[in-house]
Structure 1
Amino acid sequence: MGNTENAATYNEAVPKTYLNADLHCHSVVSDGTLTPEQLAQRAAARGVELWALTDHDEVGGQHRAAAAAKAAALDYVTGTEISVSYAGRSVHIVGLGFDADNAELTQGLYDTRNGRGPRAREMGRLLEEAGIPGAYEGALRHAGNPELVSRTHFARFLVETGVCSDTYEVFRRYLTEGKPGYVSHVWANLRDAVRWIVDAGGVAVIAHPARYDFSAIEEYALFSEFKQMGGQGVEVITGSHRPHEYVTYAEMAKEFDLAASRGSDFHSPEESQIDLGQLPYLPSQLTPVWKLLQDRIQRA
């Protein structure tokens, strides 16, 4: 859990909004290793007060997660993380507090993840050309949902077979742009992703913005267009941000009048940089996204 020390230092220095909300994590329904039920228990055991399961391009675990949260006496709000193509990069938009049975949303998510199968097979072919046979079949074994075979599942296979020592090495050597197993993909567009969430009664949030390596102009355009399309939030505190990035995106939230979200992006006890419930708190001068979600939270 590499960010825990940084989080502790940040917590000592910054005024806080005191709610241990974790609004970004993944289960076996997408590319996590725990079931929705196990995640709910883990979140409750680590002091999480408000939780959302946000599987990639999928809402199939929402009813299970809500039931498990209730059993664990944990407040819950629906979630998903939609893959979007923007300015030549893959950007993620988290949706929170929507109707998980909304037909347009579920169809949009189905269409978005439908392209993952051909992409995964092509990744397997390229890795075989690079001297790693059986990668597609190996990744498929690690996928709880065969419609959502992702780079993470390939990474787990390459670690399992000893090709790399950990998943971070796999991404560096094989699964990022320009490496032997990388295959680009056109995902949903930003306007559609935001519309699906908003029309289903939810709040759209830009996930972990520091990860996208945009220029200042590209990032400003992303935030501006997102806001114009009806987006309402941005992740300020996340498992992949460092303390100086907490500050950067707190300022961005204020500049664009966006609510601030907080989520570990937890996938696995063995792989994730930070555990459920272990993030620093949001700065007190920001509007927390759960203020926009009060009527959509399932109370424990």
Structure 2
Amino acid sequence: MTEPSPLNAWPIYDLHSHTQASDGLLTPEALVLRAVEQRVGVLAITDHDTTDGVRPAQAAIEKFQLPLRLIAGVEISTLWENHEIHIVGLGVDCDNPVLTAFLQQQNDRRMARARLIAERLEKAHIPDALSGALALAGGGAITRGHFARFLISQGKADNMAQVFKNYLARGKTGYVPPQWCTIKQAIDAIHHSGGRSVLAHPGRYGLSAKWLKRLIAHFSEVGGDAMEVAQCQQAPNERTQLARYAQDYQLAASQGSDFHQPCPWIELGKKLWLPANVEAVWQRFPEIEQV
């Protein structure tokens, strides 16, 4: 295994996390407090198709005088070759009118999909799924994760992996094909807001090596800036392979836990380091740290 490079020693950068503004379980305040407990020095909040968690998090940092730098971010759902691909925006301007209008369109799509999921579950004799999922979302962006938690609460499954496999995955009762924007549209919206675009968790789309390289090549061709190379939990050699792809396609490298809730295997800042042969996204684009 490649040893962590000196640039990762301190501060710890965690550039992918979620709050209750989308499908995370912690409030923005609780998230930044936990980040400091885990020795994270730079944190990006990247909720699904919303930046609503950023300002409360920054207010908490100022309130408690936390030794934490916050990067304003967002995670945008896109569709490429019939695959749902996530693009993280780092260093975005939360007030940018192009970005805010774009995210509103995304959330309109998200709500339309949620209604269809609920209709399918209703036909399968699982009532009140929409109201249940909306209650769990608590005013944040609704996701399939909220439906999964609702189904678990109804005794339909024991855990998130099981409920997705049995109800929400492609071809299952509650699956509805997404109608997201294109990768280019997401990148353009991020760039309009002054941010940098990052291909999120490329190893988690179930793509063969050939198709993964096609995805990364397309992302690079349409203006992508970086790709996630390091996560808390990765297959053996995945980090090394993704670092090679980042070099091959001239992309900066990012790292992030994709933290949603406290659990033993995914934690803020855990095992986040980059191989020494890549350029970190915060080095190539230092402006992303300016909130």
Equivalent position amino acid for 2:80 in 1 = Y
Which deviations, in whole Å up to 9, do the C-alpha atoms of 1:220-243 show, x marking residues without a partner? 232222212221100011245323
How far the C-alpha of 1:64 sits from its partner, in A, is: 1.8
Confirm whether residue 137 of structure 1 aligns to residue 131 of structure 2: yes
Which deviations, in whole Å up to 9, do the C-alpha atoms of 1:33-70 show, x marking residues without a partner? 11111101000110001101000011122222223334
**Structure 1 residues 69 and 230, CA gap change in structure 2 (3 angstroms):** farther
CA distance in 1, matches of 2:93, 2:152: 37
Task: Select the residue among 142, 148, 154 that pairs with 1:155.
Answer: 148
Task: Please list, as runs of the form range in 1=range in 2, the aligned pairs for 1:133-282 lying within 5 A after superposition.
Answer: 133-145=127-139, 148-270=141-263, 273-282=265-274
Confirm whether residue 109 of structure 1 aligns to residue 98 of structure 2: no
Matching residue of 2:82:
88
The 8 Å contact of residues 253 and 259 in structure 1, kept in 2 or not, is answered as: yes
The 8 Å contact of residues 14 and 43 in structure 2, kept in 1 or not, is answered as: yes
Matching residue of 2:38:
46
**1:164 alignment partner, SS class:** coil
**1:192 alignment partner, SS class:** helix
The 8 Å contact of residues 15 and 255 in structure 2, kept in 1 or not, is answered as: yes
CA distance in 2, matches of 1:155, 1:206: 25
Confirm whether residue 57 of structure 1 aligns to residue 49 of structure 2: yes
- Structure 1 residue runs of 5 or longer lacking an equivalent are 1-9
How far the C-alpha of 1:125 sits from its partner, in A, is: 1.8
CA distance in 2, matches of 1:293, 1:250: 18
**Structure 1 residues 263 and 15, CA gap change in structure 2 (3 angstroms):** closer
How far the C-alpha of 1:128 sits from its partner, in A, is: 2.3
The 8 Å contact of residues 253 and 281 in structure 2, kept in 1 or not, is answered as: yes
Matching residue of 1:69:
61
The 8 Å contact of residues 208 and 241 in structure 1, kept in 2 or not, is answered as: no
Equivalent position amino acid for 1:143 in 2 = A
- Structure 2 residue runs of 5 or longer lacking an equivalent are none
**2:24 alignment partner, SS class:** coil
The 8 Å contact of residues 257 and 272 in structure 2, kept in 1 or not, is answered as: no
**Structure 1 residues 150 and 225, CA gap change in structure 2 (3 angstroms):** same
User: What's the TM-score once normalised by structure 1's chain length?
Assistant: 0.90
User: What's the TM-score once normalised by structure 2's chain length?
Assistant: 0.92
Task: Select the residue among 274, 284, 293 that pairs with 2:285.
Answer: 293
Which deviations, in whole Å up to 9, do the C-alpha atoms of 1:216-270 show, x marking residues without a partner? 4432232222212221100011245323211211111111111111100011125
The 8 Å contact of residues 208 and 240 in structure 1, kept in 2 or not, is answered as: no
Matching residue of 2:23:
31
Equivalenced residues, count: 286
Q: CA RMSD in A?
A: 1.8
The 8 Å contact of residues 239 and 266 in structure 1, kept in 2 or not, is answered as: no
Equivalent position amino acid for 1:201 in 2 = G
Confirm whether residue 14 of structure 1 aligns to residue 8 of structure 2: no
The 8 Å contact of residues 40 and 68 in structure 1, kept in 2 or not, is answered as: yes
The 8 Å contact of residues 282 and 288 in structure 2, kept in 1 or not, is answered as: no
Between 1:57-66 and 1:251-260, the stretch displaced more is 57-66
**2:254 alignment partner, SS class:** strand
Equivalent position amino acid for 1:174 in 2 = Y
Matching residue of 1:127:
121
CA distance in 2, matches of 1:191, 1:244: 29
CA distance in 2, matches of 1:73, 1:281: 20
**1:65 alignment partner, SS class:** helix
**1:114 alignment partner, SS class:** helix
The 8 Å contact of residues 44 and 72 in structure 1, kept in 2 or not, is answered as: yes
